[in-house]
Copies of this chain bind each other. A is one copy, B any other.
Amino acid sequence: MKAVRLNELGGPEKLHIETIPDPEPGAGEIAVKIHRAAYNRRDVFITQGLYPGIELPRTLGSDGAGVVAALGPGVDGPPVGTPVVIDPMIGWGGDPHVWSGQQSILGMPRDGTFAEYCVVPAINVHKKPAQLTDDEAAAIPLAGLTAYRALITRGRCTSADRVLITGIGGGVQTFALLFAKHIGARVVVTSSSDEKLERARAMGADITINYKTAENWSKEARAATGGGPSLVIDSAGGDTFAKCLNIALPGARIVTYGGTLGDAKVRMFDIFWKHLDIMGTSMGSPQDFAGMLALFETGLKPAVDEVVPMDEAAAAAERINKSEQFGKVVLAIS
């Protein structure tokens, strides 16, 4: 089969297409014929060596949708040909509150979705929501799962919330915006790109703030949420995270799933005096994935930035590296 392989580190340009043997499903596994895959920033980080436990050569890719191609021993469904989408969280374990410590993410170290076939544990294979195209279904797994757990499972978002999503544009933030508006919350988003803010507005963001050009973005975000957000979704960390704690309403929930700006110097007084809940999250449980898919049964649509052919895999990864996209970049496999 054809696969997008990484044989050595060195950035997105090291991705290239190779022909490798078709994988066979083992006991408890399913082989999925991939129609569409999609990128996450993680894929780019791996090409740059910025990820723990890299083993090469490897087929990258966490997001994939297609049809069941073959069932391994002991697996009794779904039938071959069923349209499916893959949960990229491997080995979460039995506790919905926290992963097992044995977890990994599809695409490293396990071969991923940037290939004509991908083999995963049967528990990771879910029926594709009927309303979604293959492009849309491939766009949702990793980012949708992470956003669902951050906003809903951990953040307990309701229509009464005033939600602040920092750094809109990446996959997770875009799904958080999609879900928060679906729930009926008021949503304020920030970005350094007016173009991304424009697209966020088109998706329903109530207030958009350019944190590069604003005089004081956190003061503006406080005002735009009517005194402070009741729920924050952040993966910037650093000073952005500290400012979010500072402007949050008493009793607010602050959910973090990353720290691209590094460590945060936080004011303890903000945390204890306002009775804040700060919740860390990464990926999501099988329950989260099922809950997330159920949202897409209602007709919700993910933001797809573009669909690129398989032989442009390296160029597309470079675009992600430059954070040029809004929503997901999808790879057409077959």
Given the contacts A263-B266, A264-B266, A281 and B272 also touching, CB distance less than 8 Å = yes
A276 near B: Cβ within 8 Å?
Answer: yes
List, in ascending order, chain B residues with CB within 8 A of A250's CB. 98-99, 101
Q: Is there a chain B Cβ closer than 8 Å to A212's Cβ?
A: no
A158, chain B: closest CB distance, angstroms: 13
Using Cβ atoms and an 8 Å threshold, which residues of chain B touch A272?
Answer: 235, 256-259, 280-282
Determine if A69 is an interface residue (Cβ-Cβ < 8 Å): no
Chain B residues whose C-beta falls within 8 Å of the C-beta of A238 in the assembled complex = 268
Chain B CB within 10 Å, residue with most, of A101, A270, A274, A280: A280
Chain A stretch 240-296: residues in CB contact (< 8 A) with chain B: 241, 250-251, 256-259, 262-282
Least distance between A278 CB and chain B CB atoms (Å)? 4
A256: chain B residues at CB < 8 Å are 268, 271-272
B282 pairs with A279, CB closer than 8 A: no
Q: How large is the interface on A (under 10, 10 to 19, 20 to 34, 35 or more residues)?
A: 35 or more
Q: For the complex, what is the distance from the CA of A92 to the CA of B251, rounded to whole Å?
A: 13
Known: A259-B272, A268-B262, A268-B264. A251 touches B282 (CB 8 A): no
Instruction: Report which residue of A235, A238, A269 has the largest number of chain B beta carbons within 10 angstroms of its beta carbon.
Output: A269
Complex interface residues of chain A between 96 and 131 (CB less than 8 A to chain B)? 97-99, 101
Extra pairs beyond A238-B268, A256-B268 (20, CB < 8 Å): A97-B251, A97-B275, A98-B275, A99-B250, A99-B275, A101-B250, A256-B271, A258-B272, A259-B268, A263-B265, A263-B267, A265-B266, A272-B281, A272-B282, A273-B282, A275-B279, A275-B281, A276-B278, A276-B280, A278-B278
